Chain A
Amino acid sequence: MKHIGRAQTSLTNRQLAAGKGVFVSDIQRHDMTHMAVVRSPHASARIVSIDSAAAEAIPGVVKVVTGQEIKANMNPIFEAYDTEAMGAKGVVSYALCPERVRYVGEAVAAVVAEDKYTARKAADLVAVEYETTPIVSNTKAALEPGSPLVEPDWGDNILITRDFVKGDPDKAFADAEMTSSDEVYQHRYTGAALEPRAYMAEYDPYTEQLTYWASTQNPHPVRVFLAETLGIEESSIRVIQPHVGGGFGLKTPTFQEEPLVAYLARSLERPVKFVSERTEDLLVGGHAREMRLSYDVAFTKDGRITGFRAKVVADVGAPSALCGWGMSFVCAYSIPGCYKIENANVKLFSVVTNKCPWNAYRGYGKETASYLMDRVLDDVAAKTGRDRAEVRLKNFIPPDEFPYTQVSGANLDSGNYPGTLKRVLEMIDYEGFPARQEEARREGRYIGLGIGQELTPEGCSMPRSTLLGGYDGATVRVNPSGQVTVLTGITSPGNGNETAIAQIAADSLGVPFDQIKVIQGDTDICPYGLGNYSSRSVIMGGSAVQIAAKDIRDKMLKVAAKMLEVSADEVEVEEGQFSAKGAPARYVLFKDVASTVYRDCHGVAALEVEPGLESTRYFQHGNVYHQPETQGRFSAYPSWPNQSMAMIIEIDPETGHFDILKYCAVHDSGTVVNPLLAEANLHGGFLQGVGGAAHEHLVYDDDCQLLTTTFMDYTCPTAMEVPFFEVEHQETLSPFTPLGTKGVGESGVAGALSGLCSAIENALPHLDLRFTDLPLSPNAVWNAIHEAEEKRT
């Protein structure tokens, strides 16, 4: 292997750095129109009437469409999950609401116009009369008897529940030496990719073909969803994914505007483009995280956990076709994470309210599970007077006990948690920190060290889901020139997986890296695949490429052997050259073998092989099972990367402001195909973790009106809020993938959540702080400090 494991810059860098990338909003088509959306100002209301006369009177307006037309002409939006297979409640929702709205911003009408300014102006003139209905504004209210119902047909406001049990928790608590209980809260925030969502559709009535450009992570599933929702054939739709300006999960289908644009392009027979404004993206582009988690923990005096109970109550917003609510399931599914607890019970209540629906966001619930467990372990450490790291080391699943079945039925493939934690403690000089802290204290400075432990299962595969499956496809094609084209079903939202794919292909075929061209994101060209989510691209797509490349290599080995007049098992290939083993001077070039297959198929060397050098293969992950055993348990995540992080912060107790001085992490995702891009991804995860821990917050008032609708009030961290990151990799290989890969993309978003809590607590030991609510905004920290100071006096 030559290219796997090599730091290689991304293949897309030059084009994108030059500003020559092509995003959906950059594409213009002849006779193109623009769509603007009329959105509900109410969180819960019945639509009484819609008067579009004023909008239609404006010159340049092409069409005004309402929910009634949509309901008459389209199917409900196809659900990303098979809710029935999950034991969840499903929902019937349309591209425009025909009768009622369930959250602020839900689309009720749309205007198509010759330019975007006219479309926006006309949309503002569409007069919608509403009759407001009672609002369900939070989970507490939603669960009260007699609460109004977000979905009247459901009978209650619960989307899904689970009750996972292992061992005998009641006995563990009865026998416990010590116990503790607490509740932690993870606030609502989101990924906020810098490129807002954008879709464009063009219909050719002569060929009856719909071409659809989307800022999406999942072109093939989008095609299925469009076909199902529009009631047309998949083969009549081509979905193209141009460059995508960040996804982070948020660009997984299906939003209302996606089928709406397609419908309008077909009915108008003109191209229709929709580019979301930032406010629209913050309002309806998918939210995440809002969960309240209570726990009871039983443990020995030396800090070994003997029993655990957790209850997850998630505010998933209004139900929708999106896959976001699944994050609540995955949160419960991932508890108790890295820890071996023989007696445990995890309960899940996914609750609907009149807020924006969740959509997938990097972490997908695992970050909240990690946050909970870190807070639990810190609690146990504090109660027993033991060191935080020591308590974690005492409770980790031992490295020799994998595969390990967790409480939820999750099958953890492999891991060495003590390895990453011990190494990160060395990196941050954990032993030497108290002396450093003492010295800083003498200078009047308050510094603190926090640690966080992440477990981020990857490669999500949910029962009967069109979107979330544990497989993917790839085509490897060696051209007559010997150049290689790789087509994948996985896609890149800008994270560089095409580069890792090229590295895998180069090694698997035995050709130089620069001979590989990777093509992604076009349903007419690429093999069927599920695209990018759950850090699956290298796990699933990379493995498929490796299998397909092996087909081609085996075939070319036979031909090369004939050309070299040796047997096939005596030939090896590397960097574009087939040579006789042990006699490297005796070789034929890769390109000459390719040429022979294509141009001399009846010649001696190629006569016995089938013409052509192309293979399409699928990789199916082995560590998934969907046949529920007891408690409805199934294994949805095949791959379990993990990470230990540690940070040092300095805080000003006068203001609550803190700076992160040092941030170290040791990450383990098995084989690292490209350490540079893996590290780059991790850096982004760290930033989003810090953003979530302290800066980003989607704030609703009691009427479920979103108060943070621009980047002026939804504050993303800048370069000023983070330091350089120090990253090392540990490689505990997955036994279930050909290369031992596990997935990188979501690691990093969790550690800072509790890491920052514990760092601030550690900086001010005299105050005996305990943070259980995020975000740690300066005023939240300031309030906590002042409350603690008042208590002391």
Chain B
Amino acid sequence: MKKSIEVTVNGKSQSVEVDTRMVLADMLRENLRLTGTHIGCGTGSCGACTVMLDGRTVKSCSVLAADADGRSVQTVEGLSTSAVSLHPVQEAMVENQGLQCGYCTPGMVLSAVELLNKNPDPTEDEIRHGIAGNLCRCTGYHFVVTSIQAAAKSMKEGA
């Protein structure tokens, strides 16, 4: 069954026809071709599909697309305007080797953005807690945490 929904994605309001069985991650990836949102598990366990829904992170593999009707979604693509002007969290990841294969990274970045929005000066423990819903198999989290620390510093200095 199809349903038409109105959804704002990365600041742009649009109407999308979705299968009622479709999850938000698939709608973003397949209907809107926003493939920066990755699917790692399909059970809300790994966090690769993390996006912001009305300003809060959700695992988009576990939200029905139809439930985004009338709401606002931000994906990794909405964080930067060009290759040379990434979000400070993304820049920090690039500079501090906070990623390897890059599959978990978009979700990790969005969790970090939410964390820093709420808590601009987090401790190491708070950072680790903030990304506990995002699995990474490559980095051992070490440079992810140092990247988020660097991002917090640069965002404070930039603010």
Contacts and interface: CB of A to CB of B under 8 A. Distances in A.
A463 B33 CA distance: 45
A117 B132 contact: no
A618 B129 CA distance: 47
Contacts of B124: 724
Contact of A17 (B41, B75, B93, B135): B93
Contacts of A581: none
A195 B99 CA distance: 14
A684 B137 contact: yes
Q: Which residue among A14, A18, A496 has the maximum number of chain B CB atoms within 10 Å of its CB?
A: A18
A278 B127 CA distance: 27
Contact of B43 (A13, A192, A278, A677): A278
Contacts of B140: 682-687, 722, 725
B39 A19 contact: no
A191 B138 CA distance: 10
B13 interface: no
Contacts of A738: none
B116 interface: no
Given A248-B137, A677-B97, A194 B103 contact: yes
Given A192-B137, A683-B143, A720-B129, A18 B97 contact: no
Contacts of A670: none
A724 B140 CA distance: 9
Given A18-B76, A719-B131, A495 B93 contact: no
B42 interface: yes
B118 interface: no
Main secondary structure on A side of the interface with B: loop
B159 to A, nearest CB: 21
Nearest to B22: A117
A471 to B, nearest CB: 26
B97 A684 contact: no
A686 B106 CA distance: 23
B86 interface: yes
Contact of B37 (A19, A495, A496, A684): A19
Contact of A195 (B38, B86, B128): B38
Given A677-B97, A720-B129, A245 B19 contact: no
Interface string A154-172: 0000000000000000000
Interface stretch (A300-308, A500-508, A642-650, A709-717): A709-717
Interface string B20-35: 0110000001100101
A18 B137 contact: no
Interface in B81-121: 83, 86, 90-91, 93-106, 109
Nearest to B78: A19
Contacts of A54: none
A716 B135 CA distance: 7
Interface in A664-693: 676-677, 680-688
A194 B97 contact: no
Contact of A19 (B21, B36, B136, B142): B36
A261 B93 CA distance: 36
Contact of A193 (B30, B75, B94, B137): B137
B141 A494 contact: no
A359 to B, nearest CB: 15
B110 to A, nearest CB: 10
Interface string A477-495: 0000000000000000111
B122 interface: no
B101 A719 contact: no
Nearest to A711: B45
A13 B94 CA distance: 5
B48 interface: yes
B94 A725 contact: no
Interface string A709-737: 01110001011101011000000000000
B42 A496 contact: no
Interface in A540-584: none
Contacts of B99: 10, 13, 16-17
Q: Which residue among A196, A680, A686 has the maximum number of chain B CB atoms within 10 Å of its CB?
A: A680
A433 B154 CA distance: 38
A778 B118 CA distance: 33
Contacts of A278: 40-43, 46
A9 B29 contact: no
Contacts of A711: 40-41, 43, 45-46, 135
B131 to A, nearest CB: 5
A676 B33 CA distance: 34
A23 B83 contact: no
Given A12-B102, A19-B105, A724 B142 contact: yes
A485 to B, nearest CB: 21
A683 B139 CA distance: 6
Interface in A1-28: 9-10, 12-23, 25-26, 28
A514 interface: no
Contacts of B106: 19
Contact of B128 (A244, A710, A720): A720
B28 to A, nearest CB: 11
Given A117-B19, A245-B102, A496-B100, A684 B139 contact: yes
Contact of A719 (B40, B90, B132): B132
- Nearest 9 CB-CB pairings of A with B: A19-B36, A494-B101, A16-B102, A245-B103, A683-B140, A19-B76, A711-B45, A687-B140, A26-B35
Given A18-B83, A683-B139, 16 more contacts: A13-B97, A17-B90, A17-B94, A19-B35, A19-B106, A23-B35, A26-B35, A193-B101, A194-B101, A194-B103, A494-B103, A495-B100, A496-B100, A684-B139, A716-B46, A722-B142
